[in-house]
Structure 1
């Protein structure tokens, strides 16, 4: 059995009774939003950033470089957990008695499936919480001391592939071994066989998640890329640098709800029915603008409409914006990591749109491989669980199972799109800092 779960949705429960103190708090929950804002602008954080910057000047340590630009984020566990510890009285009482356990979805399921015998997680799930130090490969004592979070609540860290425990026979009728646990995006990367330094996985679902294999060293980013553990299997430790654009597939759902189009399968045809965007530019910022722009006060913008603007121009502008955001993240990864990108493998619902993928290839002069399976996370955790149980002996056996549906090659259209892309960047600048003015 293997488990791949949504990242950063968590729960706490009583060590003795196993009873939760609250419902799951999802990564979209905004109760910690004000904590994020206050802490990121606090003198404590400024002192931490300044001190780390000074230390990096002398040590050149990537860990100090990462700390010099450290910011808390709402989707991370950190501030939602801090908010919870301040507002749940029963939780606080049991915390003083050392009777509280913490876990994301994977840890909770593992605890329940093993009838409370195993309290653990894997490194990939832990690394995205904001409570983990990828440079030390352990729960972050610095963050926990800063926020007064006791480290006794955290689960044991285990390899991504290997025996976590066995399912209680009373639950499923047999003691099924649980041999793989992975976070969703890292699972998709493993399923897409991005095992070599420089391999890139791009999942285009409701949001776009671009992950670059950086080998056995975490990348310290100043542009907003996040260093995560891809997977740990025995002595093999793989890190990834992740860039996110939160609004992709959800933008298409929004446009469909406004009757801008009817069928998603027809989007490429609609975009190609006009020679260009007619001067229309779209910036998706329903959740702000992430790396490398990093502006959570940005506003969604559509600019350049005239009486001659047709729905096809709007559709084309929306699809172009998805490819433009990919280009920004792609170039950021190239510039920051200095790693040659060897391959880009794309999965997720939006990957079915040939217009978007071809434009991504043209803008980056990079070959784009569309994965055979839309949902690569499921395949990835199946690979990991199978490796952990001995069904496959090594990763090389997995390549033939992945499959490639289509390959997009650059058609040398960058000269045509150069000015269009620059104008879109002007539209991005117009959308920035909008909500900070209120």
Structure 2
């Protein structure tokens, strides 16, 4: 890796439960980080063989096909307004989009589609199978947009982008943007990209990402698995004739909860949290239920602390937050073991929270499995680079990619999971009390 550059895109919260992104801010940050990263690497844009784009999924926008002007902000995957729309559909937000759709002037897309459209000055209107499969409108079994659902919701099929392979030549970024045309050789959803970056290429390979949200993914090969208890099928990637499916379970408030704790001064630096948690024997009965956006399939679950006492300290609160992540990991892992009828292989973890040794060790203890942590926690970016490299011929096969894997740490079970039983039972009770708030 030659260089890294980051720029945070702030979420907007116009109303309680609403989460949006400003499309122009996202676009300017996107262009800016590419320019800064290339400059920091001492390279020129003309030297770039291909661009791989990994984006958060299920965050959508609609815009005018002719002018390119958005009808509204991005609606984030963490947004909860759909819970109310189920009972009372409010069309006012999308009225302009509805009128444009009737005239075949409306485009619908997730972040990747929007970026492709902007990069190519409107000449490419497309997405890939990994992003499409996460919208809820794309049918992973038939690999096409769902006409029955669209008809039921009165959504014209014309608004949806064409769906391309994940590792594919999507065209080139307009030379006015970066000073030279850069081939766009891969577009992929973030969790599927992290799966590819971890080299989870075989059925039974497991990836755990802990970032803003938490995601367990299992490579199920050519088979689709779903469960009413929290797992859903996705297309991992499509490269030529190869179509790889995943099953996924998610928890939405990992990084969000930790950032909130930092914002209210429970700690100064996130690196302190593992030490704070270990400085005490237990959380003293304090439980934290993560639910700032959505969790355990209940959009009305509220985030809460329970079991507070006069003796409760910041360390107890921080430990309770970290324990909640490990407990939720245990819940999802147990569902996967029960529902996915494939022998599970080594678990590979990534994402910013994977740098927290307390969470990693406790998760390993609870599930009684070894967990590998790579040297580079940002597997989503690496996966996009791998996919772009394959499309551009920089690498010829996946075996070359496997040789590039670097493991920084391995966490193996050190305590019997039964030792955590009383604390987890208390946490489960706290979770039930936070439902349907």
Aligned length, in residue pairs: 387
- Counterpart of 1:342 in structure 2 is 345
Listed one character per residue, the Cα deviations across residues 101-134 of structure 1 (whole Å, up to 9, x for unaligned) are: 2222211222232232221110011111111011
CA distance in 2 between partners of 1:90 and 1:281 (Å): 45
Task: Please state if 1:406 is matched with 2:409.
Answer: yes
Alignment of 1:3-152 (within 5 A): 3-37=53-87, 87-152=93-158
Mapped contact 1:207–1:247 kept (Cα < 8 A): yes
CA distance in 1 between partners of 2:100 and 2:258 (Å): 45
Listed one character per residue, the Cα deviations across residues 332-352 of structure 1 (whole Å, up to 9, x for unaligned) are: 111111222202111111111
Instruction: Report how far residue 83 of structure 1 moved.
Output: 5.5
Listed one character per residue, the Cα deviations across residues 289-331 of structure 1 (whole Å, up to 9, x for unaligned) are: 22xxx22222223223333333322222221111000000011
CA distance in 2 between partners of 1:137 and 1:417 (Å): 43
SS in 1 for 2:418: helix
- Counterpart of 1:70 in structure 2 is none
Mean Cα deviation higher: 23-32 or 236-245: 23-32
Task: Please state if 1:155 is matched with 2:158.
Answer: no
Task: Please state if 1:280 is matched with 2:330.
Answer: no
CA distance in 2 between partners of 1:88 and 1:250 (Å): 28
Task: Please state if 1:388 is matched with 2:391.
Answer: yes
Instruction: Report how far residue 357 of structure 1 moved.
Output: 0.3
Instruction: Report how far residue 196 of structure 1 moved.
Output: 1.4
CA RMSD between the two structures: 2.0
CA distance in 1 between partners of 2:388 and 2:398 (Å): 12
Mapped contact 2:80–2:299 kept (Cα < 8 A): no
- Counterpart of 1:41 in structure 2 is none
Give the structure with the higher percent helix. Answer: 1
CA distance in 1 between partners of 2:162 and 2:86 (Å): 27
Listed one character per residue, the Cα deviations across residues 49-100 of structure 1 (whole Å, up to 9, x for unaligned) are: xxxxxxxxxxxxxxxxxxxxxxxxxxxxxxxxx866x654443333222232
Instruction: Report how far residue 8 of structure 1 moved.
Output: 2.2
Mapped contact 1:218–1:241 kept (Cα < 8 A): yes
Mapped contact 1:32–1:83 kept (Cα < 8 A): no
Mapped contact 1:163–1:180 kept (Cα < 8 A): yes
Q: 1:271 to 1:388 in 2, by over 3 A?
A: same
> Given the alignment, which residue of 363, 383, 398 partners 1:360?
363
Q: Which runs of 5+ in 1 are unaligned?
A: 39-81
Instruction: Report how far residue 431 of structure 1 moved.
Output: 2.0
CA distance in 2 between partners of 1:3 and 1:233 (Å): 15
- Counterpart of 2:260 in structure 1 is 254
Instruction: Report how far residue 170 of structure 1 moved.
Output: 4.0
Q: 1:28 to 1:380 in 2, by over 3 A?
A: same
CA distance in 1 between partners of 2:300 and 2:119 (Å): 42
CA distance in 1 between partners of 2:174 and 2:393 (Å): 21
CA distance in 2 between partners of 1:218 and 1:212 (Å): 11
Q: TM-score, normalised by structure 2?
A: 0.83
CA distance in 1 between partners of 2:308 and 2:425 (Å): 17
Listed one character per residue, the Cα deviations across residues 175-194 of structure 1 (whole Å, up to 9, x for unaligned) are: 43211000111111111111
